Structure 1
Amino acid sequence: MTSQPTVLFVCVHNAGRSQMAAGYLRQLAGDRITVLSAGSEPGDKVNPVAVQAMAEEGIDISQAVPQILTTGAVQESDVVITMGCGDTCPVFPGKRYEDWALEDPAGRDLDMVRGVRDDIKKRVQALIEELAG
């Protein structure tokens, strides 16, 4: 891995789980890890309940815009973490892949989204320990 690893978070709409994970990684890792986030079928905007749940943690993802997943983003990433996009995510040999099985928070209430958020936070903290020490 390069001196500063790049992590790409991918979910279908790039509107909830991947945006929350990217928000945590940016906040907790600072400039030690480059963070990318994308979706195989990006939504129009970030899930407002995800924005609210992250705001409770002091992390503002309200200005994030769902991005289309590109092969270039996958190729430039050291670690690709998928969250329920199944076969729609491209796979390249030699890349490190993880699939985080997380419920989709789309259309769900704040209590449910908080649970997903808290699960994401634990996973991101473990990833930072592993990648940045």
Structure 2
Amino acid sequence: MNKSVTYHVLHQGRAEYTLITPGNPPTIEKTVIGAGPGETRQLLVGTGVWKMSKLLPEDVGQAQTEEEKRRLGCLITEVVVPGFHWEDHKFLTEGGLRELVKGFQDEERLIAELTPYLKKV
């Protein structure tokens, strides 16, 4: 999570973003940054929003040769306004995730899905 607004601008590839806005219940959005139909080339993430990104499973599955696997990826630029400072950034931990989604419908499924991407403490 950043205290500043972050613009994500696509250069090439595709990635799925999961955005979690705290609240009761939290708002959870998934969007694909890419150049295809229904995808976006720019993504604005507001302040106080937890985010993660990953390559899409279908893209990973289609990469058969070593060359295709080597070329697989997503290149973006992040522009942080007014600027990035490490003290304004936090990584989500398992305890933080559990607190964030407490009482959420499908709470355990969501925790299982996101746990591999959390900061280990």
TM-score w.r.t. length of structure 1: 0.29
Q: Which has the larger radius of gyration?
A: 2
Is the helix fraction higher in 1 or 2?
1
| TM-score (normalised: structure 2) | 0.30
Which one has a larger percent strand, Structure 1 or Structure 2? 2
